[in-house]
């Protein structure tokens, strides 16, 4: 049986439940699902001028027809740190947010992102709104601030590439408004505007576009995406370790070269009785000093590889994980929000029907009966609205599930970046190692030396005797 989060309680089902044992024996009037009208949502008049592709394909509007490249091409937003210092202490951090699409560059603080996030949830409660990174805690270091900058960059890029968010006025305000109070501007833009349900022409007909097995489909989809999330979470952790090892290797190579240089720079005099008039140590010191340059170059190559894998592999995995997490959050909002409110409204209606029957039996005053009837009518409207919102929430969930699958080819981008980084990194480091090898011959030079440079090990790994 499908999990409870996708069980849709229709008014017809509620009517049948009302006649089950233990109920008040009444039946929900047909007005809930048939004759009683509700206000028809009006289209949102503050959208951007360009047409929204969410009005898409002719036929069933539930179906989306995007490619990953189309979504990625919508915008690329950069988020860079601009720390502002007062005295010796870091008071707060500003970010320079630059949009390719709007050709804009604005300054934002973390709290601006918070207000923008809240407005998105207000406007689009049934869509995948990515979560924000946590607010800075006391004693936060630069590593935390950098991690939060990366997370804010992922957040705004996911939002800027979402088919609906990218066409809404609040995104344009956030990315291009250069005034001093962007928070109030964002709040004003949403002040007299309802959520997506109130502004979508298809909201009241969402049920007509849903597949008959919507409950089964979402049960399977939710489980699949949970498994995908868990798998990519493990991949991200391993990718982080690989990138971290490259950076640690860079640090070790640099220190190794410095230690060689320190040996070569040693000025401690050697007694003649120990050296026997040999110049071996002096020649070795001179050679050791020169090797530090190659090891510094090796360290630089290793660090570049680690940084590249952080940016092109780890960050892309984090981006995809943020998207998957926003889908999981959306499923929880559907279960805790619309479905829960719908069930509470049905329960309240059942209690009011019982009160109505009790009043009729006790022959109460006509006015009190009329007031109760009026309340029942209001509750009928509330139930009808909740039912329509429930179906619209499922409609949106269906589309958001499609978007998740549009993003799945990002896997090939991530693997391609990882493979290319490894190939390029090993190629560049191999060249430096090969350039370094001939310089080792000076270690074995000299008139009294019988040593020769070591040869490359045989392929079978066995040393000759």
pLDDT tens, residue by residue, 286-307: 888 888 888 999 999 999 999 9
Count helices and strands in the chain by DSSP H and E runs: 15, 3
Identify which has the larger pLDDT, 184 or 286: 184
Average pLDDT over residues 189-194: 82
| pLDDT reading at 452 higher than 70 | no
Q: pLDDT per residue over 328-380, tens digit each?
A: 999 988 888 655 554 554 555 455 555 555 555 555 555 565 666 666 667 67
**Lowest mean per-residue pLDDT among 188-202, 207-221, 261-275, 434-448:** 434-448
**Which pLDDT score, from 0 to 100, does residue 290 have?**
80
**Lowest mean per-residue pLDDT among 47-56, 196-205, 257-266:** 47-56
Which of 155-164, 207-216, 426-435, 453-462 has the highest average model confidence (pLDDT)? 155-164
Q: pLDDT per residue over 381-426, tens digit each?
A: 777 778 888 889 999 999 999 999 999 999 999 999 999 999 999 9
**Lowest mean per-residue pLDDT among 11-15, 104-108, 419-423:** 11-15
**Which pLDDT score, from 0 to 100, does residue 151 have?**
97
Average pLDDT over residues 217-240: 94
| pLDDT reading at 266 higher than 70 | yes
**Which pLDDT score, from 0 to 100, does residue 286 have?**
80
Cα–Cα separations (whole angstroms), residue 66 to 34, 101, 177, 209? 36, 18, 29, 19
**Which pLDDT score, from 0 to 100, does residue 1 have?**
39
Q: How confident is the model at residue 235 (pLDDT cuts 50, 70, 90)?
A: very high
Q: Which helix (H) or strand (E) holds 31?
A: none
Identify which has the larger pLDDT, 191 or 304: 304
**Which pLDDT score, from 0 to 100, does residue 318 have?**
97
Cα–Cα separations (whole angstroms), residue 41 to 209, 224, 307, 395, 438? 18, 34, 50, 16, 78
**What is d(CA 316, CA 236) in angstroms, rounded to the nearest whole number?**
9
Identify which has the larger pLDDT, 58 or 65: 65
| pLDDT reading at 259 higher than 60 | yes
Its pTM stands at 0.76
**Which pLDDT score, from 0 to 100, does residue 365 have?**
58
**Which pLDDT score, from 0 to 100, does residue 139 have?**
62
| pLDDT reading at 16 higher than 70 | no
CA atoms 401, 404, 408, 411: torsion sign: negative
Percent of the chain whose pLDDT exceeds 70: 68
Average pLDDT over residues 301-323: 96
| pLDDT reading at 457 higher than 60 | no
**Which pLDDT score, from 0 to 100, does residue 311 have?**
94
What's the alpha-carbon Rg for the chain, to the nearest Å?
Answer: 33
Q: Which of 112, 115, 117 is nearest to 130 (CA)?
A: 117
Q: Which of 314, 305, 317 is nearest to 248 (CA)?
A: 305
Identify which has the larger pLDDT, 404 or 138: 404
Q: Which of 328, 388, 353, 329 is nearest to 8 (CA)?
A: 388
Percent of the chain whose pLDDT exceeds 90: 47
Mean pLDDT of the chain: 78
Instruction: Give helix 142-160 / helix 110-123 axis angle, nearest 10°.
Output: 30
Backbone angles phi, psi at 457, to 5 degrees: -65, 145
**Which pLDDT score, from 0 to 100, does residue 80 have?**
96
**Which pLDDT score, from 0 to 100, does residue 48 have?**
42
């Amino acid at each position: 049986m499908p999990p409870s989060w996708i069980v849709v309680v229709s008014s017809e089902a509620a009517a049948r439940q009302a006649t089950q044992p233990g109920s008040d024996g009444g039946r929900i009037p047909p007005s809930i699902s048939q004759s009683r009208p509700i206000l028809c949502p009006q289209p949102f008049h503050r959208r951007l001028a360009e047409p929204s592709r969410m009005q898409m394909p002719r036929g069933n509007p539930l179906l989306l027809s995007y490619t990953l490249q189309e979504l990625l091409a919508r915008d690329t937003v950069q988020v860079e740190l601009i720390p502002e210092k007062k005295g010796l202490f870091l008071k707060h951090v500003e970010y320079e947010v630059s949009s390719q699409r709007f050709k804009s560059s604005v300054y934002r603080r973390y709290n601006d992102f918070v207000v923008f996030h809240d407005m998105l949830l207000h406007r689009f409660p049934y869509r995948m709104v990515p979560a924000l990174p946590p607010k800075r805690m006391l004693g936060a270091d630069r590593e935390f601030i950098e991690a939060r900058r990366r997370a804010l960059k992922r957040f705004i890029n996911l939002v800027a590439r979402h088919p609906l968010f990218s066409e809404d006025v609040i995104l344009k305000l956030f990315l291009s408004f250069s005034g001093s109070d962007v928070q109030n501007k964002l709040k004003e833009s949403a002040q007299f505007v309802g959520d997506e349900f109130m502004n979508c022409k298809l909201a009241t007909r969402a049920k007509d576009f849903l597949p008959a097995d919507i409950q089964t489909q979402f049960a399977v989809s939710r489980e699949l995406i949970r498994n995908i999330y868990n798998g990519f979470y493990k991949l991200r952790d391993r990718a982080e370790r690989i990138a971290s090892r490259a950076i640690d290797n860079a640090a070790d190579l640099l220190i190794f070269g410095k230690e060689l240089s320190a040996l070569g720079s040693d000025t401690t005099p050697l007694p003649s009785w120990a050296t026997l008039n040999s110049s071996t140590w002096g020649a070795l010191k001179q050679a050791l000093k020169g090797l530090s340059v190659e090891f510094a170059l090796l360290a630089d190559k290793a660090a570049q590889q680690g940084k590249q894998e952080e940016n092109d592999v780890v960050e892309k995995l984090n981006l995809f994980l943020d998207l998957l997490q926003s889908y999981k959050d959306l499923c929880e909002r559907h279960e805790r929000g619309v479905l829960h409110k719908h069930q509470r409204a049905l329960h309240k209606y059942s209690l009011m029907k019982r009160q109505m029957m009790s009043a009729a039996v006790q022959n109460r005053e006509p006015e009190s009966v009329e007031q109760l009837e009026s309340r029942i009518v209001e509750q009928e409207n509330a139930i009808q609205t909740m039912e329509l919102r429930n179906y619209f929430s499922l409609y949106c969930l269906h589309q958001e599930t499609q978007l998740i699958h549009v993003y799945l080819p990002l896997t090939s981008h991530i693997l391609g970046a990882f493979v290319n980084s490894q190939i390029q990194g090993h190629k560049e480091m191999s060249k430096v190692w090969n350039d370094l090898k001939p310089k080792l011959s000076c270690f074995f030079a000299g008139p009294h030396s019988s040593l020769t440079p070591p040869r490359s090990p045989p392929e079978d790994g066995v040393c000759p005797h």
